């Protein structure tokens, strides 16, 4: 036993480069898993601290009760007269009125409104004292009309200088304000990119169009009063549509909200990490197999000297255990570095994150070990089994080769796996998966099974494929045709090696191809749907944010160039216990602006507060027809019984539930518009319409004024950006598979040392040697890339079928883009072989020929 | 570019039937296919220093079969490798024809080997993924040159490889593999063919066949062959045997018989 361990360690030490190459792909996989944990744990902890800090002194908060689970930045305001009531409750030490607004946008010195990468732009009323989360770091607190303060991160980034005058965009338009102070939120002002401005309460109420309203009151208990007792007294003192919650609950709530967002973010990272781990499993397995073939003589010698086949198997597994352990430990360190790198990267692109606390949870260490050791051991199971089959006589007689045997068994297993994979995916997409976790699990399992099955099948056709794909190399000019010929035959030489080397690239590229097919189909569906549905010529909307002033719609409507104008607001309601999205619009002009396809009833007659419009799907769900009553629950007003005024077909852009704007005003606290759709009057051309809108565009610089085509382009652009982000992360799998290609080529060069030496002796130049190796890698990569695109097309096709027709109604195959991916992957594979190629060209000819 | 192999094709095809003017003139003017002056090859330093070649002056006559012999460790293979530009030298100079090769770049050396030298090694002479014919034509293909089909046929037929051209090396016997290697060495009509123990791995029948071919290449086609061997019988095929011991030339023998060579070797090993 001790001797065996010694033997294994010696063997590893003697082949440091191979050892390094093998571990590297595992290290990468482990690093990504670890970094996703370290980053999320660190962020969670940090945000928890921020929330606790910000609310440390708050014992209770009074605000509108919200039945809805969604994350909210602003609460429904209530009358400020309640403040006196709350402050007068027995046991209240200090009470502070609060208002949060999301309608106010500060304008930078250069005239452009501040922008974020998706984080909210919020305004608070300035309060001093221990209950406030804000502290002043420079200048004065806002203390009267025309004064404001801004948070220090925004001030630094956008060059806000105390004492200068800046425009503030609010409900009523632009106004000049003087910046009097710079504030800090909590200890670090880590707002994840959000912009925080503050005003006096009166100014904020005026700017927000919320005169006489508050959104919360924070309270601290007198020293001798138990906070729970105070909470009871507060609850008794306030109206029933408001609630009093304890400081702890407030903190917990905020932490949960952050936790949810960070959790989603972490899961996405983890998903990509798992893809990376999966790809590296193939690479390690391939490496072990090749190494095994090269060590036949050594193994046979051990057998001849009396080692049992069990001992050989043990040695091989022991070696992989050591590789796995080392890779796990290095990967753990690498993951921590990567987590900090990712944080820095996000910080630098404007998503300002707090400096994270380093938390290496036991879960992280276990994951690193499970992934590193597990993956390596798993990958070495079959090589170890085969290693034990080496007969002792092979030590004396060269030429022993592992049988590629079990062909039929392999095929049967592959068929079973692919059927299981398809069944699992089918179940997830079309059948029982009624929650996201189950859907992802069935899809993931199905994809893994299909990938394994394809990689088991592919040796059956990898040799003819490599010959076919490499055929053009025969026609290279001059002396390159023979190097091309050699590259082609080398790529076709070992079907299993070519297949498993290509497998890594196949997986990465199939995921990229699938994402691309789905995104392209989505874009094309969207464009077509937009063309046939949206009747309005202009859309006014905001890139991000909680809505804009509802006065704008009236001002557009007042322009003679526009015939029909309606605002759209998006909110949440609850029907039959489930939360649903609802849109509010002027139903009398609904069909003029949006062809929803009315099936029954009359939208025009559904104006007012008593009606709701449903899609056929929603009507079927609730079992109602036009004229029936439907109970709808609103956050502000609770359960209301509405009448189904019309049933329509097409939920594109508007959703399944529509109410009239008057219904919104009656049931929702805030009245912000999200979109304005406008149709030009007859005879008004685009230039005239745009000229008419120009002054409004200047007043509301945070809004996007666009034509239908521009809107379509922007949405498609957003999809494209999302696709780029996804593909960049999937690129990680590609990088790992490229490492695998480099690894295989390095081992192949080692294996073919003699023949390379011979060819060099009889006149192959270094350059020819290099291109021979690189071209071989190119052929293998091309095979993997094409196989990947094929599998990706099938996956994409299945996804398009599974996604509801209202979102994707067609399969679009971006042949050009996919071809570019294949070309890039092939070239990348070619370049990945540069290092082994250089090694091959620098071989000492005589030593190479003399080998063995 | 100057293509020596192409230039010589015409000469050979017209002169196979009778001895060429060049060949008859050769003994008089002593044209050398390869020469070394003061050649030293030292491995290692200090305590571990090994003088593989220690001041060798030698010339290999064009149109002759020269054998290099010597006891194990005498430096005979090293001499061949240095003459062929496969190994770098510590001191002295090496010329292929008139060209000084001892300070050439790897690229120039490779082209020189490809165009003006042929190689036959003891074992592992062929690229396993290529057919016999592709192996034969490999030096030409690497240079992007078209084979002279008539000459290729002559070589292939005289080596009895006609039936085997489309087989891969692992489908050929050891003797056949070595004949393919001979054909490859001949196909470019090089200035000199270097053979490193070409019969070392063959049975005596196949060995004699290969030696017979080398002899014919010299006699019929005016090729120059330099062969390292430890077998006196193989050496007896040569026009001249050069004896090496401890990295130095210690004698030569013209038109040797196997017995003469054997005696000389016994003497050297003593």
A14-56: pLDDT as tens digits: 667 667 777 787 888 889 889 888 988 888 887 888 778 777 7
* The pLDDT value given to residue A712: 87
Please enumerate in sequence order all residues whose Cβ is within 8 A of that of A98, keeping only pairs 6 or more positions apart, or say none. Answer: A124, A125, A127, A214, A215, A216, A217, A218
C-alpha span between A274 and A30 (Å, rounded): 9
Record: contact B144-A493, CB cut-off 8 A: no
* The pLDDT value given to residue A67: 57
**CA nearest to B84, candidates B73, B96, B69:** B96
Asked if A476 is an interface residue toward chain B (Cβ–Cβ < 8 A), one would say no
Band of the pLDDT at B27, cuts 50, 70, 90?
A: very low
Considering only A138-152, A367-381, A426-440, A780-794, which range has the smallest mean pLDDT? Answer: A426-440
C-alpha span between B116 and B83 (Å, rounded): 12
Band of the pLDDT at B133, cuts 50, 70, 90?
A: very high
Supply A739's token pair. Answer: 């490492």
Greater confidence (A572 vs B133) lies with B133
**CA nearest to A177, candidates A163, A188, A159:** A163
Q: Please tell me which of the candidates B113, B130, B144 has its beta carbon nearest to residue A478.
A: B144
Record: contact B110-A766, CB cut-off 8 A: yes
Residue B20 in this model has a pLDDT that exceeds 50? no
Residue A65 in this model has a pLDDT that exceeds 90? no
Please enumerate in sequence order all residues whose Cβ is within 8 A of that of B225, keeping only pairs 6 or more positions apart, or say none. Answer: B64, B65, B66, B192, B193, B195, B214, B217, B218
Whether the CB-CB separation of A142 and A199 falls below 8 Å is answered with: yes
The average pLDDT across A58-72 equals 68
* The pLDDT value given to residue B15: 35
Which residues are paired to A675 by β-bridges? A541, A568
Q: In residues, how long is chain A?
A: 852
* The pLDDT value given to residue A191: 67
The average pLDDT across A85-105 equals 86
Greater confidence (A780 vs A122) lies with A780
Which residues are paired to A568 by β-bridges? A585, A675
Q: Which of residues 129-168 of B touch A (CB under 8 A)?
A: 129-130, 134, 138-139, 141-144
CB atoms within 10 A of CB B47: 5
Whether the CB-CB separation of B56 and B252 falls below 8 Å is answered with: no
* The pLDDT value given to residue A50: 76
For A599-648, write each residue's pLDDT tens digit.
999 989 888 889 999 999 899 999 999 999 999 988 777 788 999 999 99
Q: Which of A190-199, A313-322, A816-825 tops mean pLDDT? A: A816-825
Band of the pLDDT at A820, cuts 50, 70, 90?
A: very high
Residue A595 in this model has a pLDDT that exceeds 50? yes
CA distance A484 to chain B (A): 10
Partners of B142 on chain A (C-beta within 8 Å) are 479, 482-483, 759, 762-765, 768
Band of the pLDDT at A828, cuts 50, 70, 90?
A: very high
Residue B1 in this model has a pLDDT that exceeds 70? no
For A719-733, write each residue's pLDDT tens digit.
888 888 888 888 888
For B65-115, write each residue's pLDDT tens digit.
999 998 888 899 999 999 998 888 999 999 998 889 888 888 999 999 999
Asked if A485 is an interface residue toward chain B (Cβ–Cβ < 8 A), one would say yes
Residue B18 in this model has a pLDDT that exceeds 60? no
CA distance A397 to chain B (A): 15
Q: Which site among B124, B194, B198 would you substitute to test the A interface, given the most A Cβ atoms closer than 10 Å to its Cβ?
A: B124
What domains, with CATH codes, occur in chain B?
A: 4-20+64-84+104-269 (3.40.50.300)
C-alpha span between B226 and B234 (Å, rounded): 12
For A160-180, write each residue's pLDDT tens digit.
999 999 988 876 677 899 999
CA-based nearest residue in chain B for residue A491: B129
CA distance A748 to chain B (A): 14
* The pLDDT value given to residue A759: 92
Please enumerate in sequence order all residues whose Cβ is within 8 A of that of A102, keeping only pairs 6 or more positions apart, or say none. Answer: A73, A74, A120, A121, A122, A123, A545, A546, A547
How buried is A852 (Cβ within 10 angstroms: 0-12 exposed, 13-18 middle, 19+ buried)?
exposed
* The pLDDT value given to residue A773: 95
C-alpha span between A614 and A646 (Å, rounded): 7
Percentage of chain A lying above the pLDDT 70 cut = 93
Partners of B144 on chain A (C-beta within 8 Å) are 477-481
Asked if B220 is an interface residue toward chain A (Cβ–Cβ < 8 A), one would say no
**CA nearest to B83, candidates B105, B64, B57:** B57
C-alpha span between A380 and A282 (Å, rounded): 10
Q: Tell me the three state secondary structure of residue A55.
A: coil
**CA nearest to A745, candidates A771, A727, A720:** A771
Whether the CB-CB separation of A330 and A791 falls below 8 Å is answered with: no
Percentage of chain B lying above the pLDDT 90 cut = 49
ipTM over 0.90: no
Positive or negative: CA dihedral A345, A350, A351, A355: positive
Supply A732's token pair. Answer: 């990680």
Supply B216's token pair. Answer: 């014919």
For B169-204, write each residue's pLDDT tens digit.
989 988 899 999 999 999 999 999 999 999 888 888
Whether the CB-CB separation of B84 and B119 falls below 8 Å is answered with: yes
For A261-290, write each residue's pLDDT tens digit.
788 888 888 888 888 888 888 888 888 887
Residue A784 in this model has a pLDDT that exceeds 90? yes
The average pLDDT across A338-364 equals 77
* The pLDDT value given to residue B29: 59
* The pLDDT value given to residue B8: 36
* The pLDDT value given to residue A546: 63
* The pLDDT value given to residue B16: 36
CA distance B142 to chain A (A): 4
Fold of A550-699: Cathepsin D, subunit A; domain 1 (2.40.70)
C-alpha span between B53 and A332 (Å, rounded): 55
Q: Tell me the three state secondary structure of residue B75.
A: coil
* The pLDDT value given to residue A782: 96
* The pLDDT value given to residue A75: 66
Greater confidence (A512 vs A532) lies with A512
The average pLDDT across A691-701 equals 83
Q: Tell me the three state secondary structure of residue A210.
A: coil
For B32-62, write each residue's pLDDT tens digit.
899 999 999 998 888 888 889 998 999 999 9
CA distance B241 to chain A (A): 24
* The pLDDT value given to residue A583: 92
Report DSSP state, residue A393. G
Q: Tell me the average pLDDT of chain A.
A: 85
C-alpha span between A631 and A681 (Å, rounded): 39
* The pLDDT value given to residue B267: 86
Band of the pLDDT at A484, cuts 50, 70, 90?
A: very high
């Amino acid at each position: 036993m001790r001797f065996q361990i010694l033997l294994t360690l010696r063997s590893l030490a003697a082949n440091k480069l191979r050892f390094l190459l093998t571990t590297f792909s595992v290290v990468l996989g482990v690093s990504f898993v670890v970094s996703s944990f370290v980053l999320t744990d660190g962020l969670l902890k940090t945000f928890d601290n921020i929330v606790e800090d910000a609310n440390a002194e708050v014992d209770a908060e009074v605000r509108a009760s919200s039945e809805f689970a969604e994350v909210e930045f602003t609460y429904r305001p209530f009358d400020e007269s309640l403040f006196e009531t709350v402050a007068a409750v027995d046991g209240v030490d200090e009470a502070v009125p609060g208002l949060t607004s999301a309608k106010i946008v500060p304008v930078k010195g250069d005239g452009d409104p501040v922008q974020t990468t998706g984080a909210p732009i919020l305004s608070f009323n300035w309060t001093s004292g221990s209950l406030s989360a804000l502290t002043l770091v420079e200048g004065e607190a806002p203390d009267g009309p025309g004064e404001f303060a801004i948070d220090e991160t925004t001030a630094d980034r956008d060059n806000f200088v105390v004492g200068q005058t800046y425009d503030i965009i609010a409900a009523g338009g632009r106004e000049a304000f003087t910046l009097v102070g710079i504030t800090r939120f909590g200890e670090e002002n880590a707002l994840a990119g959000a912009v925080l401005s503050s005003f006096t309460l009166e100014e904020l109420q005026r700017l927000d169009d919320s005169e006489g309203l508050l959104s919360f009151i924070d309270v601290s208990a007198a020293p001798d009063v138990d906070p729970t007792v105070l909470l009871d007294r507060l609850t008794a003192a306030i109206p029933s549509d408001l609630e009093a919650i304890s400081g702890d609950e407030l903190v917990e709530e905020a932490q949960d909200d952050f936790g949810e967002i960070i959790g989603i973010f972490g899961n996405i990272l983890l998903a990509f990490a798992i893809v990376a781990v999966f790809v590296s499993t193939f690479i390690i397995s391939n490496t072990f197999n090749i190494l095994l073939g090269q060590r036949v003589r050594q193994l046979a010698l051990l057998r001849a000297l009396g080692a049992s086949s069990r001992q050989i198997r043990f040695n091989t597994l022991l070696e992989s255990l050591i590789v796995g352990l080392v890779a796990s430990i290095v990967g753990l360190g690498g993951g921590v570095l990567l987590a900090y790198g990712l944080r820095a990267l996000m910080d630098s692109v404007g998503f300002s994150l707090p400096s994270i606390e380093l938390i290496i949870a036991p879960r992280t260490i276990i994951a690193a070990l499970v992934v590193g050791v597990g993956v390596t051991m798993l990958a070495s199971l079959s090589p170890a089994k085969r290693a034990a089959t080496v007969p002792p006589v092979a030590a004396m007689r060269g030429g022993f080769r592992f049988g590629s045997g079990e062909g039929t068994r392999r095929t049967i297993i592959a068929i079973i796996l692919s059927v299981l994979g398809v069944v699992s995916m089918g179940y997830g997409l079309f059948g029982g998966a009624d929650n996201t976790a189950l859907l992802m699990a069935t899809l993931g399992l199905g994809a893994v099974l299909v990938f394994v099955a394809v990689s088991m099948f592919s040796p059956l056709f990898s040799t003819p494929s490599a010959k076919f794909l490499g055929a053009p190399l025969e026609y290279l000019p001059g002396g390159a045709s023979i190097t091309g010929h050699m590259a082609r035959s080398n790529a076709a030489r070992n079907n299993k090696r070519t297949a498993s080397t290509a497998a890594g690239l196949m997986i990465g590229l199939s995921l990229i191809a699938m994402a691309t097919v789905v995104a392209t189909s989505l874009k094309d569906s969207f464009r077509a749907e937009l063309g046939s549905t949206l009747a309005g010529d202009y859309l006014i909307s905001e890139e991000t944010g909680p809505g804009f002033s509802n006065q704008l719609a009236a001002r557009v409507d007042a322009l003679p160039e526009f015939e029909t104008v309606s605002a759209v607001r998006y909110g949440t309601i609850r029907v039959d216990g489930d939360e649903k999205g609802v849109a509010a619009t002027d139903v009398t002009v609904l069909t003029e602006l949006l062809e929803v396809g009315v099936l029954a009833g009359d939208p025009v007659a559904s104006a007012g507060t008593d009606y709701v419009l449903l899609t056929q799907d929603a009507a079927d769900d609730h079992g109602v027809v036009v004229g029936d009553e439907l109970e709808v629950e609103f956050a502000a007003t609770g359960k209301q019984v509405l009448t189904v005024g019309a049933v329509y077909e097409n939920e594109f852009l508007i959703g399944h539930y529509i109410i009239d704007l008057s219904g919104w005003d009656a049931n929702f606290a805030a009245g912000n518009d999200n979109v304005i759709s406008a149709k030009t009057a007859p005879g008004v051309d685009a230039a005239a319409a745009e000229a008419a809108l120009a002054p409004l565009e200047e007043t509301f610089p945070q809004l996007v004024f666009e034509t239908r085509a521009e809107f379509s382009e922007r949405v498609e652009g957003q999809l494209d950006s999302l696709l780029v982000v996804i593909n960049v992360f999937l690129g990680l799998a590609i990088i790992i598979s490229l490492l695998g290609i480099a690894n295989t080529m390095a081992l192949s060069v080692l294996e073919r040392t003699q023949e390379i030496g011979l060819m060099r002796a009889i006149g192959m130049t270094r350059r020819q040697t290099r291109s021979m190796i690189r071209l071989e890698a190119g052929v293998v990569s091309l095979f993997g890339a094409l196989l990947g695109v094929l599998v990706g097309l099938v996956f994409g096709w299945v996804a398009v079928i599974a996604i509801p027709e209202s979102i994707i109604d067609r399969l679009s195959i971006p042949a050009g883009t996919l071809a570019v991916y294949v070309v890039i992957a092939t070239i990348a594979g070619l370049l990945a072989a540069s290092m082994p190629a250089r090694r091959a060209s620098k071989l000492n000819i005589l030593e190479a020929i003399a080998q063995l | 570019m100057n293509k020596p192999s192409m230039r010589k094709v015409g000469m050979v095809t017209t002169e196979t039937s009778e001895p060429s003017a060049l060949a008859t003139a050769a003994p008089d003017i002593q044209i050398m296919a390869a020469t070394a002056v003061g050649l030293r090859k030292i491995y290692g330093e200090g305590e571990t220093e090994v003088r593989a070649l220690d001041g060798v002056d030698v010339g290999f006559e064009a149109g002759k079969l020269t054998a290099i012999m010597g006891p194990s460790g005498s430096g005979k293979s090293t001499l061949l490798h240095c003459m062929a530009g496969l190994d770098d030298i510590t001191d002295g100079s090496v010329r292929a024809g008139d060209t000084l090769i001892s300070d050439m770049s790897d690229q120039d050396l490779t082209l020189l080997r490809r165009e003006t030298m042929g190689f036959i090694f003891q074992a592992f002479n062929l690229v396993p993924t290529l057919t016999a014919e592709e192996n034969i034509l490999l030096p030409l293909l690497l240079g992007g040159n078209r084979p002279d089909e008539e000459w290729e046929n002559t070589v292939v037929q005289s080596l009895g490889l006609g039936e085997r051209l489309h087989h891969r090396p692992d489908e050929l016997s050891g003797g056949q593999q070595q004949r393919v290697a001979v054909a490859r060495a001949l196909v470019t009509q090089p200035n000199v063919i270097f053979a490193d123990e070409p019969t070392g791995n063959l049975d005596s029948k196949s060995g004699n066949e290969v030696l017979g071919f080398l002899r014919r290449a010299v006699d019929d086609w005016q090729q120059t062959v330099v062969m390292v061997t430890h077998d006196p019988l193989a050496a007896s095929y040569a026009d001249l045997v050069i004896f090496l011991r401890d990295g130095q030339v210690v004698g030569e023998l013209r038109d040797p018989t196997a017995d003469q060579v054997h005696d000389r070797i016994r003497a050297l090993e003593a």
